[in-house]
Structure 1
Amino acid sequence: MGSPVKETKDEYEVSSRRPDTRTKWQAFKNAIYNPEEKTLLGRDKKKWGIVTVFYMVFYSVLAVLCAICYMGLMVTIDENRPKYTLDSSIIGTNPGMGFRPLPNLEHGSTISYTLSNYSHIAEWTARIDQFLEMYMDKTKLPNGGRNQMICNYSRPMEPGKVCEVDIRKLGNCSKAMDYGYRNSSPCVFIKLNRIMDWKPIFYNNPKDLPQSMKQDLKDYILRFGEAGKDRLNTIWVSCNGESPTDISNMGRLEYYPYQGFPGYYYPYENAPDYLSPVVAVRFTRPKINVTINVECKAWAKNIKYSSHRGEKVGSVHFELLIKE
């Protein structure tokens, strides 16, 4: 006679396990809540209590640690000025330049409009209106313009105060003249980007100007300084065509209120109601139906100029296209 066959442990457990006759819906309901075992999502009351207490303690400790880190960070932050400035900051010490009105993204840096299309012209003048809004209406400034003072070359900015930018001196580039856009003499507004604590080093000696500076700007500096040597403390601005053809097509330029940014607007210290000074460049008779490439530069001894691989430093580039 052969020896009796012994059931293994696994075979016994399989044979003794009752077949699951539940429907899929019943199995799903029991997975959510099992009334026989009194479990919710596979856990009874005791296990759910342990899980709840653990996560309450865990997230409470995490919230306290985050609050401590946040409070420690806020102690080191000054709301009125950045922690790092000038050489220690990402921006550095070389201010960039910008121009207004800004074209739409699809138009790149081209200011283009049609003389016979008044609605098109209105779009460009409206953008300038928006840019000059706080210059025109001081009440829209954070402090209502109360922190501004009238400055000039003999009366520089006082500590804690800021100088008013008087746009009534824009001449042919004023709002009353539609910024020149209706009579094919458009104005483009140039400004320097703000850098905290940056102080310009001026080209204030007419006899010691860089060789790369155009003669017409040198002549202007000489005439401008005749009214007082303190007027030479200016960041000069010049705009030129980027090629001989552009220079010919660009025509004569006019600058308002001066051909530069007066030095009494600097340094920028984030005082309330500060507005960046602007220079309005008027193209008196640019050639029609031709794209004109223009580059404007700021002149100060500590503004470095570079045009490496199309990256403008210390200058700004834009195109002008006026269509009939």
Structure 2
Amino acid sequence: MSDQQNVPSLLRLQTKEVQVHVKMAFYQRRGLLHQLLLQTPRLSDESKSSFLTNLELVLTRSSRLRDTKAAFQSKTTPEAWSRKTTAGGAEEQHHGNYIPNAVGETEPQREPAAAEGLEEAANVEEGDLCDEEEEPAYEWWKSKPKPKKTRKEVMADLKKFLWNPETREFMGRTAKSWSLIILFYVSLYAFLATMFAACMCSLMWTISPYTPTYNERVLPPGMMMAPHWNGFEISFNASDKSSWIHYVEALESYLTPYNDTIQEQQNIECRENRYFMQDDKEESAERKACQFKRSLLRNCSGETDPSFGYSEGKPCIFIRMNRVLGYLPGDGTPINVTCVAQKGGPENLGAIEFYPHSFFNLMYYPYYGKLRHVNYTSPVVAVQFPNLKTDTPLTVQCKLNGKGIINDSPQDRFLGRITFTLKVGGY
């Protein structure tokens, strides 16, 4: 068989191969090969075997697509598809996938049709490749980015979102939808508010307004002092009234509830050195309070010396224990107060005087709370330093001492103790 007779068959075969490969490449590139298989009608076993065989053959030949397309685009003459036979008359070898016809089989003249199919396949593949070049390199499973809208389009979309006259929707919802969702949230929050109110009522019914459920964290009591105008630092010059007048005013305000007239009107005289127990009364009944008169503080009362010793360089301070409801300090023994010089030396601090005593009398305990102990005034211990060495900075610490008292806790510097600095200038 001559070369001219084999050329049409070769062209037809290559044309079909290109068309099939273009389709296969198209589906494979987009991961849609399964759609091609699903569209195939049901086949018999023999047809299925034939289909799989042909599919394997097509996949094997698809690797030669680029060489085939290059040949088509260069419009190579049919003679270039085959090589010259050898001098010994050996069988011709063709460049491409050549399947010779059977002996005696003639090939009909289909050059025009083959050329048309060839041109169509080349155009299809060329268009597909152009699409590949023009399309951005996005993965097929990812959505392509939307084109950026202009400002006019954005405003139009916003207006349509706020009110759509076609569907009569406001912000994407109809009147019925809005009414239903508002009703739902009103019902939801009304239910939550009711449940919260019920829980609070149940909790309040279990809590007494007069007695705390737990008060272990406030035992033993802490300690506080007055005055504390500038923190816990007392520094003044005895000859300069402006340097100590604010301390005097603070002490005067602090002692106002302790005035003798007020104490006599509101409180009663109690027996000393014993607890004033009033547990036999009803829980809500008002409790009486023992008198603590200001005059008991003597030199630190502000009555004999309105300057509380500050004008003479002999300052007074007041020490008191924090109130703890129901607390019985000392377990029958009064809690006493001691003050020492931590820095500066005891010789510079000198002797210390306490008024009315250096301890807290038991008759002011227990404390029954603000609602029942209406006129209660906490007992105080006045501490005066009459022999201070002037112009010497001192660090003074006062402590509570007694049974059940903790005064050395590293976590709380006010638990059972108070530390302050003291510096008095001379005349």
Q: Same fold (TM over 0.5)?
A: yes
**1:90 Cα deviation (Å)?**
1.6
**1:137 Cα deviation (Å)?**
8.4
Larger mean CA deviation between 189-198 and 20-29 belongs to 20-29
SS in 2 for 1:201: helix
Rate the CA distance shift 1:27–1:136 in 2: closer, same or farther, 3 A: farther
Relative to its length, the structure with more strand (as a share) is 1
> Is the 1:99–1:188 contact (alpha carbons within 8 Å) kept by the matching residues of 2?
yes
* Aligned-pair Cα RMSD in Å: 3.0
Q: Which amino acid in structure 1 is aligned with residue 204 of structure 2?
A: M
Q: Is there any run of 5+ residues in structure 1 with no aligned partner, and where?
A: 6-18, 204-232
Structure 1 distance, partners of 2:211, 2:295, is 31
Corresponding position of 1:239: 339
SS in 2 for 1:162: coil
Larger mean CA deviation between 283-292 and 299-308 belongs to 299-308
Rate the CA distance shift 1:68–1:303 in 2: closer, same or farther, 3 A: same
Q: What does residue range 158-173 of structure 1 map to in structure 2 within 5 Å? A: 159=278, 160-173=287-300
1:28 aligns with 2:158: yes
> Is the 1:296–1:316 contact (alpha carbons within 8 Å) kept by the matching residues of 2?
yes
**1:23 Cα deviation (Å)?**
4.8
1:90 aligns with 2:214: no
Q: What does residue range 56-95 of structure 1 map to in structure 2 within 5 Å? A: 56-85=186-215, 89-92=216-219, 94-95=220-221
**1:20 Cα deviation (Å)?**
8.9
**1:119 Cα deviation (Å)?**
2.6
1:291 aligns with 2:393: yes
**1:157 Cα deviation (Å)?**
2.9
Corresponding position of 2:404: 302
SS in 1 for 2:210: coil
> Is the 1:238–1:297 contact (alpha carbons within 8 Å) kept by the matching residues of 2?
yes
Structure 1 distance, partners of 2:254, 2:165, is 70
Q: Which amino acid in structure 2 is aligned with residue 186 of structure 1?
A: P
Rate the CA distance shift 1:186–1:68 in 2: closer, same or farther, 3 A: same
Structure 1 distance, partners of 2:419, 2:153, is 74
Structure 2 distance, partners of 1:67, 1:101, is 44
Rate the CA distance shift 1:307–1:72 in 2: closer, same or farther, 3 A: closer
Q: Which amino acid in structure 1 is aligned with residue 358 of structure 2?
A: Q
Corresponding position of 1:41: 171
Rate the CA distance shift 1:307–1:25 in 2: closer, same or farther, 3 A: closer
**1:265 Cα deviation (Å)?**
0.9
Q: Which amino acid in structure 1 is aligned with residue 407 of structure 2?
A: Y
**1:33 Cα deviation (Å)?**
2.5
Q: Is there any run of 5+ residues in structure 2 with no aligned partner, and where?
A: 1-116, 128-148, 279-286
**1:65 Cα deviation (Å)?**
0.5
Corresponding position of 2:368: 269
Corresponding position of 2:232: 109
Which of 296, 313, 317 is the aligned partner of 1:184?
313
Rate the CA distance shift 1:201–1:273 in 2: closer, same or farther, 3 A: same
Structure 1 distance, partners of 2:205, 2:260, is 36
SS in 2 for 1:41: coil
> Is the 1:202–1:235 contact (alpha carbons within 8 Å) kept by the matching residues of 2?
no
Tell me the alpha carbon deviations over residues 177-212 of structure 1, each in whole angstroms, 9 at most, x when there is no partner: 221112111101000112222212368xxxxxxxxx
Tell me the alpha carbon deviations over residues 16-54 of structure 1, each in whole angstroms, 9 at most, x when there is no partner: xxx999554443333323333322222110110111110
Instruction: Tell me how many residue pairs correspond in the alignment.
Output: 270
Corresponding position of 1:157: 276
Tell me the alpha carbon deviations over residues 72-113 of structure 1, each in whole angstroms, 9 at most, x when there is no partner: 11011111221113xxx2223x22211111133xxx421122
State the TM-score, normalized to the length of structure 2: 0.57
**1:277 Cα deviation (Å)?**
0.3
SS in 2 for 1:99: strand
**1:293 Cα deviation (Å)?**
1.2
SS in 1 for 2:218: coil
Corresponding position of 2:250: 127
> Is the 2:223–2:417 contact (alpha carbons within 8 Å) kept by the matching residues of 1?
yes
Q: Which amino acid in structure 2 is aligned with residue 197 of structure 1?
A: G
Tell me the alpha carbon deviations over residues 232-265 of structure 1, each in whole angstroms, 9 at most, x when there is no partner: x53221212125x431111121111111111111
Rate the CA distance shift 1:21–1:187 in 2: closer, same or farther, 3 A: closer
Larger mean CA deviation between 114-123 and 266-275 belongs to 114-123
Structure 2 distance, partners of 1:25, 1:39, is 17
State the TM-score, normalized to the length of structure 1: 0.74
Tell me the alpha carbon deviations over residues 211-248 of structure 1, each in whole angstroms, 9 at most, x when there is no partner: xxxxxxxxxxxxxxxxxxxxxx53221212125x4311
Structure 2 distance, partners of 1:128, 1:73, is 42
Rate the CA distance shift 1:155–1:316 in 2: closer, same or farther, 3 A: closer
SS in 2 for 1:163: coil
